[in-house]
Structure 1
Amino acid sequence: MRYMATYDFMESVRNTNQWLGATAKALAAYPWLSMAPNPMIQWMGAWGEVTERSFERMVCKPDWGIRTHTCEDGRDHLVRVETVLEKPFGDLIHFDVVGRPEQPRKVLLVAPMSGHYATLLRSTVKSLISDCEVYVTDWHNARDIPVSCGKFDVEDYTLYLVDFLRELGPDTHVIAVCQPAPLALAATAHLAAEDPEAQPRTLTLIGGPIDPDATPTDVTDFGRRVTMGQLEETLIQRVGFKYKGVGRMVYPGLLQLSSFMSMNADRHSRAFRDQIIRAAKGEASDHDPHNRFYDEYLAVMDMTAEFYLSTVERIFKNREIAENRFTVAGKPVDIGQITRVAVKTVEGAKDDISAPGQCVAALDLLTGLPAEKKASHLEPDAGHYGIFAGKSWRNNIRPLVLDFIDANSGPHTEEAEQVA
């Protein structure tokens, strides 16, 4: 499974299915076929339309699609996505609302590196951009990164967050969504020891596996059932000759996507069957709910092999964060050294990926943090996606997070004492 031929074979299968869909769609639109109406022609065209779009999206990075924002002055202001700090494996980007006064809240939204692009947080960005200066970690697809750029594992990820926080300054409020929660916690602890003045004001951890064993799920059970050797042998491949990262060892996005969809195969099958029916009836549109969801869901990116394997081994199997044994560049990271960064955890009661209990475990590790700087919230009816996007986020979680940020936006305790 490690050879380039396997990687290229998967891409060939994807490309072939995209071509078959495009061919079926083109044939069904051939004018002469309309002389003898046949419902099978409509079905063929509908199948081709859905198939071509689905397989095409698998290799395209979605656009953020945030072009304007209506401000308090009633005018639509252009939104410009600017790169603040550029690095080989990911950039720090800023959503600059042109012509709007700078907002007092500076928020760093740490996007997960778990198979999808940072654009998965599009709705989260839209909800925060109205009254925050929003910065996002925009991770790159590993297949497009030359081997000469070196490795990228959980320690490198943590150091990237450290660099981003140093770039933004100490008045930053961090919101880490899902997978990066334990590494954002580690990055904050690293700064507490190495560069205290660069620590953020607040840290909000949303649905992250701080302690995967606190409440086991299918995801954590899988990590326990298989050995590292099995994972490396069955999931890791080399990038093929088509991309800049040729030869790099990765966990391919297409392989990740097959795992995602197999977890809810019946639901996805029904969704595509219903979409083909709608397309045949002429009821499908370019931006209907199905296409809006799957245009993002099907867009997957490769992860570096070392990042995926080190995440499984160190975060899930060895529980280095949960047991406060994590190290970065050979130096121990003591979470107990966080003494002035307010920390809030958010969990969804119906989260079947990072179940309730896994994220709130972070508060027990913060032995040096006063109780008044710790907070937690359990959203009753939210699943994994709902805690950072959708109705639960908009109506309940977002206001609580912003209130938490505002309550802890003043100077740090030590600074306040110096002023007094």
Structure 2
Amino acid sequence: MRYMATYDLMESLRNANQWLGASALSMASYPMFSMVPNPALQWMAAWGEVTERSFQRMTAKPDWGIRTFTHEDGRDHLVNIETVVSRAFGDLIHFNVAGREEQARKVLLVAPMSGHYATLLRSTVKSLMVNCEVYVTDWHNARDIPVSEGKFDIEDYTLYLVDFMKALGPDINVIAVCQPAPLTLAATAYLAELDPEAQPRTLTLIGGPIDPDATPTDVTDFGRRVTMGQLEETMIQRVGFSHKGVGRQVYPGLLQLASFVSMNAERHAKAFTDQILRVSQGDASDHDAHNRFYDEYLAVMDMPAEFYLSTVERIFKGLEIAQNRFVVDGHPVDLGKITDVAVKTVEGGKDDISAPGQCVAALDLCTGLPDSMKASYLEPEAGHYGIFAGRSWRNNIRPLVLDFIDANAGRKKGARKAAPKPANRNVAANG
């Protein structure tokens, strides 16, 4: 029962703020008050509307919102989200475009388990659907997973990725975004040694902490300052009775959200102040830019405690991936065993979470891979989110990633290129 009261207290505070917003909106919108054109009432109603929506979104899983797709044939096709593999802690889903021929490119988009739902990659999915068959790892909220399902740490996460890759076959092209980059690299090496026929065709790592010490950030500094005992005492709580996962130890999404907001507190405060002003003036809409962003940003999920703690201890503190010492289910994973999978890294020049240098370290760890099958790209003006969503992704990074996939599409497993070139450090693909 330890920390269960704390978990319920956080939920009570969230619920109370949602109720305060709803009450303020209802009271200030009372029809009789329209006879008194007081700006204070308009502001109060606007504050209530923004507050209620914000705190309500924190417990709702966003919808993918991808229902139709206009193909090159000029027709609108329905998009069906199908579950390919169903597991307790996450599913493998497929965005099947009805009535369209199967695309040659098969892409597995590995979503992060870092507090947000996989829907954070909605715009990434939509951009890849244009000419790819897109599969996504859809991780579940830990508070909804019964304790009877057991633990889930970074080794379990890696084995989930191994199973997903096996299910999709060797022609899959894997793109890992942020947090899962080191574990996806490990999963690929695991397959390279134990099941080479199931290896993916290509592996693209976007803004991931392969070597957190390569370029220190506030995130890595925090990991160094805080002991594991402090983290477990202050961050881990037990799910309350109102959820299926009652009693499960988790790192609550609300705590993670507080960390996210604190990193740019002034920017978020200004965004909400401006939104309240727009609502009071009648200039806001249900799906304006503010609501589109914050409906997703504020929707958070709990992480299994063992996953959160093992990530900090083994990836950030222990540097097990960076030093090629990672072990999965008793089996030492050797990144040098990757010899047939083309690997590309993508970094953002203004990324303050996984700074430039952390992700590209993967190329040096792949000692068994010829330089001709390595590539990297740095988007100078992109921040952390910009390298997988927004203008930088659409205009610059996505075309380069697809070029890299196409350049390695015809390569047969086990067949190396005759004359390896130096590692291609800032281009899209290797010839």
> Partner residue of 2:77?
77
Deviation at 1:72, TM superposition (A): 1.1
Say if 1:2 and 1:237, in contact at 8 Å, map to a contact too. Answer: yes
- How many pairs are equivalent? 417
> What code does the residue aligned with 1:299 have?
A
Percentage identity across aligned positions?
80
Checking the alignment, whether the CA contact within 8 Å between 1:82 and 1:94 is kept in structure 2 is: yes
CA distance in 2 between counterparts of 1:3 and 1:226 reads: 20
How far apart, in 1, do the equivalents of 2:289 and 2:12 lie?
29
Match of 1:368 in 2: 368
Letter in 1 for 2:260: F
Distance 1:270 1:416 in 2: 54
Secondary structure at the residue paired with 2:138? strand
The residue aligned with 1:49 is 49
Could you give the per-residue CA deviations for residues 51-102 of structure 1, whole angstroms, max 9, x where no partner exists?
0000000000000000100011101100010100000000000000000000
Instruction: Report the alpha carbon displacement of residue 413 of structure 1 after superposing the two structures with TM.
Output: 4.4
- Do 1:348 and 1:383's aligned partners in 2 also have CA atoms closer than 8 Å? yes
Cα displacement (A) at 1:2: 4.6
Q: Distance in 2 between matches of 1:89 and 1:167?
A: 17
Residue 426 (structure 2) aligns with: none
Deviation at 1:414, TM superposition (A): 2.7
What is aligned with 1:220?
220
Once residues 297 and 18 of structure 2 are traced to their aligned partners in structure 1, the CA distance between those partners, rounded to angstroms, is 17
CA distance in 2, matches of 1:161, 1:416: 25
8 Å contact 1:77–1:100 — kept in the other structure?
A: yes
SS in 1 for 2:409: coil
Taking a change above 3 Å as real, the CA distance of residues 96 and 118 of structure 1, as seen in their structure-2 partners, is same
1:280-315 CA-partner distances (Å, limit 9, x unpaired): 000011111110110000000000000000000000
* Counterpart-to-counterpart distance in 2, 1:159 and 1:183: 9
Determine the structure 2 residue equivalent to 1:405: 405
CA distance in 2, matches of 1:39, 1:145: 47
Counterpart-to-counterpart distance in 1, 2:132 and 2:213: 35
Please state how far the C-alpha of 1:411 moved relative to its aligned partner.
3.7
Q: CA deviation at 1:27?
A: 1.2
Which residue of structure 2 aligns with residue 130 of structure 1?
130
Q: Where in structure 1 are there 5+ consecutive unaligned residues?
A: none
Q: Is the 8 A contact 2:340 2:416 kept in 1?
A: no
d(CA) in 2 for partners of 1:156 and 1:128? Answer: 28
- Alignment partner, residue 179 of structure 2: 179
Secondary structure of 1:363 counterpart:
helix
What is the DSSP-based 3-state SS (H/G/I as helix, E as strand, rest coil) of the residue aligned with 2:395?
A: helix
State the shift of 1:412 in Å.
2.2
Contact residue 340 and residue 415 of structure 2 kept, 8 A: no
What residue number does 2:338 align with? 338
Q: Tell me what 2:294 maps to.
A: 294
Aligned partner of 2:412: which letter? H
Aligned twin of 1:313: 313
Q: Summarize the alignment of residues 340-359 of structure 1 with structure 2, pairs less than 5 Å apart.
A: 340-359=340-359
For 1:98 and 1:303, locate their aligned partners in 2 and report how far apart those are by CA, in whole Å: 34
After TM superposition, the structure 1 = structure 2 runs for residues 33-182 of structure 1, keeping only pairs within 5 Å, are: 33-182=33-182
Is 1:274 aligned with 2:274?
yes
- 1:204–1:343 CA contact under 8 A, matched in 2: yes
User: What is the TM-score normalised by the length of structure 2?
Assistant: 0.96
AA paired with 1:344? K
Q: So what's the TM-score if we normalise by structure 1?
A: 0.98
Query: 1:179 Cα deviation (Å)?
Result: 0.2
- Between the aligned partners of 1:411 and 1:263, the Cα distance in structure 2 is 44
SS in 1 for 2:188: helix
CA deviation map 1:308-355 (0-9, x unaligned): 000000000000000000000011000000001000000001001000
Cα distance in 1 for residues equivalent to 2:128 and 2:10? 38
**Counterpart amino acid of residue 274 in structure 2:** D
Q: Equivalents in 2 of 1:328, 1:95: separation in Å?
A: 30
What amino acid maps onto 1:366 in structure 2?
A: C
Aligned equivalents of 2:35, 2:380: Cα separation in 1: 57
Q: Which runs of 5+ in 2 are unaligned?
A: 418-431
1:2 touches 1:236 (CA, 8 Å); kept in 2? no
| Separation in structure 1 between the aligned mates of residue 226 and residue 323 of structure 2, nearest angstrom | 21
Which amino acid counterpart does residue 128 of structure 2 have in structure 1? L
Q: What SS does structure 2 have at the residue aligned with 1:414?
A: coil
Distance 1:119 1:182 in 2: 21
Aligned residue for 1:85, secondary structure, equals: strand
CA deviation string 1:196-253 (max 9, x = no partner): 0000000000000000000000000000000000000000000000000000000000
Question: What is the CA–CA distance in structure 2 between the aligned matches of 1:413 and 1:321, rounded to whole Å?
Answer: 25
